[in-house]
């Protein structure tokens, strides 16, 4: 019996644990605070700062099983998925790391022992091949002399096209950051498969598969290509779990391992296909893994950045579903079987299941609609072409970009109609778009923009708000300076500081840095690597490096922030209680004036649910629970039921914040000491920010009291105005509404009566022009509403007529014209109104049978304007 994937993962971790490595949890797929990276793409990502020497850990050896996504960015396997036996958008990387501890010798020795020792993976040595970077003689010698790999199975790989460090055996995470030469171990799956050994022309086949990459981290690559030495040579070894599982389960393809076999069965079931060898099945099985995990790590489909990549993967899966003949929404149905096959790795996904399904379902339904619209556009464009013509590349691009039609999709449809596609035009449109995307890239080079800080500042602000400290660096316009003077802006770094730097949604502190020679107003605090920077301006005097200063946080503001942060935790717990455990924080903002909390939930909250949440939070505020922080290992914290959020890096120890048993979260923020301090919690708004994401805004403490008073004042004003009180106000407003409705009906009746009277009083003005009844009259102080009723009455009364009425109210002229239907062929009310209106300076228009104008101010020309009506009639009849 071969080992299951779960056993292999565990055995790997056990092996390195036995070699004194700390077992660390996988980080999120969304790298925290690293704009150079789209998704976590390697085990080393969470340790990037440790390699760079700007983060310290309590351990020097670590091992992980890291969930990774390679779709977009430097390492992108998306287009290969389904077409090879070994590429995935989502995979788990088994890693072992040394941070300035062991280097090449032990890295190689450990790898060889795990792979070949009888006690562990027990692989035949003759099946293993090795590559090294061409100039890495040290590794070459270790492999040959210490390990004893025969020379014919060690291949030295140099730089591609002679470009320095551009080699399969030089690994770097992204365009910048830690990197180094690597040595790879390959497994020969046997001569029944095609493909040559590494370094050969046909090395892309399925026979020799790279299973382990041993990276010797030595450099920090800058955006201009310069390689700086890392503070300490380190190790980053990564092995694809699915690949080693294929080897140990003695199958040729990753898709034949236990996990994928089950998942492929599930895909066949939900798509209803018999074609179990189809590539599309593999694509879908792969894509559900990346999509479900990406969503459960907090990303939703959108049109930019990570959300866009997610959308493209979902669409690709759906299209492959369509290729298998599926018409129904199917993709979301794979979340449940996925949870089943992923075992303990899917614990968070399990909690998120309903919302992940919902997001996938909404996206698929929406895409199916887009697909239909795209097909309509394509049909329209194709209708314009004759057999043998080509569809414009631009159109194919629009279908691709806006409607998600891959080129081969469009090609297929065109081929059926004997049409071609201008593929060159398509490619140049894509290139132009890529260029635009590159230019507007958010994922900029982050590290090279960092202030050149090596100092570590210590945060003391959990306990103190005031501290005597020393200035260790000053930056003005991004450059280090020795002194900062009156009125100048700067970033000041202290040895120790009570100022909290913006993190985890909590804003940075404000306050004052006071020296004997001057004072600096801090308007924000930010973290740069391990250094805390105080951003602000000199209020007066000067401050120099080395000076002693008193750092004083604005206490009132900090306290308000603490209240909002603690209330955020209560809110999170209350939402889970009222809406369900799928409620997961998407993002949060904790300021002094208010808090904002975005979370996954598919529907708008009902008013009673909002009240329920508010009531629960206020109940726990009144219980006045003491808020405790504990430093624990991640494992201990998880055992105690802590919710871990968006932390892509877990140190050995984490900070767990508890409010009794009601709320336990890992959190680095500042909090108040008892829930009672929050005083009052009021939700001010519930809204949606995107599909399946809701947002709550709320206030606490003083701000809640202010809001409460404002609302009370409003209520008081209204009750006074309508002469009511809090008990009777609603009934009173209803009565007033009813009363005003009655008045309106009454006024309408009166207006009608009045209009009839007016009609009677002017009927004698009717003249006969060429056999047509014409009534042109000026009235005084008649509302335009009445004029309209009068025209209707006059039309009825006269049967066939042309009517023009004018009235003056407060020096302004209102006009109306009516033409009975039998005459509108010859003359139109709208033409007459324009003719008169322009003479009196008014504006208006309307239909052939009725038209109105208003705003005319030339009262002295009104009589002439009205007299001119006769001439137009004469012209038309």
Q: Which of 99, 129, 140, 171 binds ligand SER (CB under 6 A)?
A: 171
| Cβ–Cβ < 8 Å for 52, 230 | yes
Around 426, how many Cα atoms within 13 Å sit in the side-chain half-sphere? 20
238 binds ligand SER (CB under 6 A): yes
Secondary structure E strands in 222-309:
227-240
Where does this chain touch ligand SER (CB under 6 A) — which range of 40-48, 333-341, 353-361, 596-604?
40-48
Where does this chain touch ligand SER (CB under 6 A) — which range of 236-244, 330-338, 666-674, 758-766?
236-244
How deeply is 810 buried, as exposed, middle or buried, from its count of CB atoms within 10 A (0-12, 13-18, 19+)? Answer: exposed
Pairwise CA distance, residues 777 & 803, whole Å: 8
Q: Considering beta carbons, is residue 185 or 310 the nearer one to ligand SER?
A: 185
Q: Considering beta carbons, is residue 121 or 331 the nearer one to ligand SER?
A: 121
CB of 111 to ligand SER, least distance (A): 11
Q: How many helices (H) and strands (E) does the chain have?
A: 22, 34
666 binds ligand SER (CB under 6 A): no
42 binds ligand SER (CB under 6 A): yes
Q: Considering beta carbons, is residue 43 or 842 the nearer one to ligand SER?
A: 43
Q: Considering beta carbons, is residue 179 or 656 the nearer one to ligand SER?
A: 179
Pairwise CA distance, residues 487 & 490, whole Å: 10
| Cβ–Cβ < 8 Å for 50, 99 | yes
Q: Considering beta carbons, is residue 184 or 592 the nearer one to ligand SER?
A: 184
CB of 299 to ligand SER, least distance (A): 21
Q: Which of 236, 364, 509, 592 binds ligand SER (CB under 6 A)?
A: 236
Please give the structure tokens belonging to residue 631.
């430093």
Residues touching ligand SER: how many (CB under 6 A)? 10
CB of 44 to ligand SER, least distance (A): 5
Helix, coil or strand: residue 685:
strand
Please give the structure tokens belonging to residue 276.
């179990």
Q: Which of 27, 40, 64, 213 binds ligand SER (CB under 6 A)?
A: 213
The sign of the torsion formed by the CA atoms of 141, 142, 147, 149 equals negative
Pairwise CA distance, residues 443 & 103, whole Å: 31
Q: Considering beta carbons, is residue 169 or 564 the nearer one to ligand SER?
A: 169
| Cβ–Cβ < 8 Å for 44, 95 | yes
CB of 347 to ligand SER, least distance (A): 24
| Cβ–Cβ < 8 Å for 263, 338 | yes
CB of 95 to ligand SER, least distance (A): 5
95 binds ligand SER (CB under 6 A): yes
CB of 67 to ligand SER, least distance (A): 13
Rounded alpha-carbon distances, angstroms, from residue 769 to 247, 252, 403, 869, 877: 104, 100, 64, 11, 9
CB of 543 to ligand SER, least distance (A): 43
Give bridge partners of residue 69 from the DSSP assignment. 90
Please give the structure tokens belonging to residue 688.
């949606």
CB of 313 to ligand SER, least distance (A): 20
237 binds ligand SER (CB under 6 A): yes
Q: Which residue is nearest to ligand SER (CB)?
A: 238
CB of 101 to ligand SER, least distance (A): 16
72 binds ligand SER (CB under 6 A): no
Helix, coil or strand: residue 850:
strand
- Tell me the CA end-to-end span of the chain in Å, nearest whole number: 104
- With residue 247 as reference, give the H or E element that holds it: helix 241-248
12 binds ligand SER (CB under 6 A): no
671 is in an annotated binding site: yes
Pairwise CA distance, residues 70 & 45, whole Å: 13
Pairwise CA distance, residues 820 & 829, whole Å: 9
167 binds ligand SER (CB under 6 A): no
Q: What's the gap between Cα 182 and its chain centre?
A: 35
Where does this chain touch ligand SER (CB under 6 A) — which range of 145-153, 231-239, 630-638, 834-842?
231-239
Please give the structure tokens belonging to residue 428.
């140049």
Q: Considering beta carbons, is residue 99 or 403 the nearer one to ligand SER?
A: 99
Q: Which of 44, 507, 621, 680 binds ligand SER (CB under 6 A)?
A: 44
667 is in an annotated binding site: yes
CB of 207 to ligand SER, least distance (A): 20
**C-alpha closest to that of 866 among 827, 832, 841:** 832
CB of 658 to ligand SER, least distance (A): 36
209 binds ligand SER (CB under 6 A): no
176 binds ligand SER (CB under 6 A): no
Q: Considering beta carbons, is residue 111 or 507 the nearer one to ligand SER?
A: 111
215 binds ligand SER (CB under 6 A): yes
Pairwise CA distance, residues 388 & 397, whole Å: 20
Helix, coil or strand: residue 809:
strand
Pairwise CA distance, residues 339 & 332, whole Å: 12
Residues binding ligand SER (CB under 6 A)? 42-44, 95, 171, 213, 215, 236-238
Q: Which residues are annotated as a binding site for Zn(2+)?
A: 565, 569, 667, 671
Q: Which residues are annotated as a binding site?
A: 565, 569, 667, 671
């Amino acid at each position: 019996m071969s080992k299951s994937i779960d056993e292999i993962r565990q055995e790997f971790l056990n092996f390195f644990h036995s070699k004194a490595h700390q077992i660390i949890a996988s980080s999120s797929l969304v790298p925290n605070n690293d704009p150079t990276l789209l998704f976590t793409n390697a085990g080393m990502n969470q340790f990037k700062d440790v390699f760079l020497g700007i983060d310290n850990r309590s351990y020097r050896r670590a091992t992980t099983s890291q969930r990774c996504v390679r779709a977009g960015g430097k390492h992108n396997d998306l287009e290969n998925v389904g077409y090879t036996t070994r590429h995935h958008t989502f995979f788990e990387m088994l890693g072992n790391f040394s941070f300035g501890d062991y280097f090449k010798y032990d890295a190689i020795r450990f790898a060889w022992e795990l792979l070949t020792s009888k006690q562990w993976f027990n692989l035949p040595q003759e099946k293993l091949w090795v590559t090294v970077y061409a100039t890495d003689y040290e590794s070459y010698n270790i492999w040959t002399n210490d390990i004893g790999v025969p020379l014919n199975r060690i291949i030295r790989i140099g730089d591609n096209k002679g470009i320095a460090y551009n080699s399969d055996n030089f690994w770097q995470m992204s365009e910048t950051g830690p990197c180094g030469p690597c040595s790879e171990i390959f497994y020969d799956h046997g001569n029944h498969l095609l493909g040559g050994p590494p370094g050969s022309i046909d090395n892309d086949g399925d026979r020799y598969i790279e299973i382990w990459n041993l990276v010797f981290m030595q450099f920090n690559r800058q955006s201009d290509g310069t390689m700086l030495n890392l503070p300490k040579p380190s190790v980053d070894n990564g092995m694809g779990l699915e690949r080693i599982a294929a080897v140990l389960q003695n199958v040729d393809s990753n898709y034949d391992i236990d996990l994928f076999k089950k998942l492929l069965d599930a895909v066949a079931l939900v798509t209803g296909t018999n074609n179990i060898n189809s590539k599309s099945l593999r694509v879908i099985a792969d894509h559900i893994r990346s999509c479900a995990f990406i969503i459960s790590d907090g990303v939703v489909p959108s049109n930019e950045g990570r959300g866009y990549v997610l959308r493209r993967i979902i669409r690709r899966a759906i299209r492959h579903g369509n290729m298998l003949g599926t018409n129904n929404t199917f993709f979301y149905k794979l979340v449940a079987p996925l949870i089943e096959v992923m075992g303990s790795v899917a614990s968070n996904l399990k909690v998120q299941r309903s919302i992940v399904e919902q997001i996938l379902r909404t996206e698929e339904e929406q895409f199916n609609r887009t697909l239909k619209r795209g097909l309509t556009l394509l049909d329209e464009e194709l209708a314009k072409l004759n057999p043998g013509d080509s569809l414009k590349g631009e159109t194919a691009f629009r279908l691709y970009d806006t409607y998600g039609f891959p080129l081969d999709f469009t090609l297929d449809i065109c081929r059926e109609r004997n049409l071609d596609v201008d593929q060159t035009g398509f490619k140049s449109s894509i290139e132009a778009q890529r260029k635009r995307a590159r230019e507007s890239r958010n994922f900029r080079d982050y590290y090279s923009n960092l202030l050149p800080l090596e100092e570590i500042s210590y945060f003391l602000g959990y306990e103190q708000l005031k501290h005597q400290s020393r200035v260790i660096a000053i930056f003005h316009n991004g450059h280090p300076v020795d002194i900062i003077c009156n009125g100048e802006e700067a970033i000041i770094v202290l040895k120790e500081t009570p100022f909290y730097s913006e993190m985890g949604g909590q804003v940075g502190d404000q306050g004052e840095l006071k020296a004997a020679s001057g004072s600096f107003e801090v308007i924000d605090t930010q973290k740069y690597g391990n250094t805390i920077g105080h951003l602000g301006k000199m209020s007066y005097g000067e401050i120099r490096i080395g000076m002693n200063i008193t750092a004083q946080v604005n206490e009132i503001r900090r306290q308000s922030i603490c209240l909002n942060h603690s209330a955020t935790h209560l809110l999170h717990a209350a939402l889970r209680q009222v809406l369900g455990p799928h409620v997961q924080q998407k993002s949060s903002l904790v300021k002094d004036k208010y808090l904002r909390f975005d979370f996954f939930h598919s529907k708008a909250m009902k008013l009673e649910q909002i009240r329920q949440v508010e009531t629960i939070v206020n109940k726990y505020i009144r219980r006045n629970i003491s808020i405790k922080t504990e430093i624990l290992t991640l494992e201990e914290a998880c055992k105690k039921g802590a919710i871990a959020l968006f932390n892509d890096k877990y140190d050995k120890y984490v900070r767990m914040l508890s409010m009794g048993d009601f709320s336990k979260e890992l959190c680095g923020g500042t909090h108040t000491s008892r829930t009672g301090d929050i005083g009052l919690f009021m939700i001010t708004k519930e809204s949606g920010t995107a599909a399946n994401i809701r947002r709550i805004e709320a206030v606490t403490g003083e701000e809640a009291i202010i809001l409460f008073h404002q609302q009370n004042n409003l209520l008081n004003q209204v009750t006074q105005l309508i002469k009511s009180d809090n008990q009777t106000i609603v009934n009173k407003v209803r009565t007033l509404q009813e009363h005003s409705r009655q008045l309106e009906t009454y006024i309408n009746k009166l207006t009608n009566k009045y209009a009839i009277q007016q009609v009677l009083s002017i009927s004698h003005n009717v003249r006969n022009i060429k056999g047509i009844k014409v009534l042109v009259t000026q009235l005084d102080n008649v509302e335009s509403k009445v004029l309209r009723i009068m025209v209707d009455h006059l039309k009825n009364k006269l049967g066939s007529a042309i009517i023009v009425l004018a009235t003056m109210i407060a020096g302004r002229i209102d006009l109306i014209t009516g033409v009975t239907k039998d005459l509108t062929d010859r003359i139109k009310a709208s033409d007459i109104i324009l003719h008169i209106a322009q003479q009196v300076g008014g504006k208006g228009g309307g239909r052939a049978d009725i038209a109105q104008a208003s705003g005319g101010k030339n009262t002295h020309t009104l009589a002439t304007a009205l007299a001119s009506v006769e001439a137009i009639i004469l012209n038309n009849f």
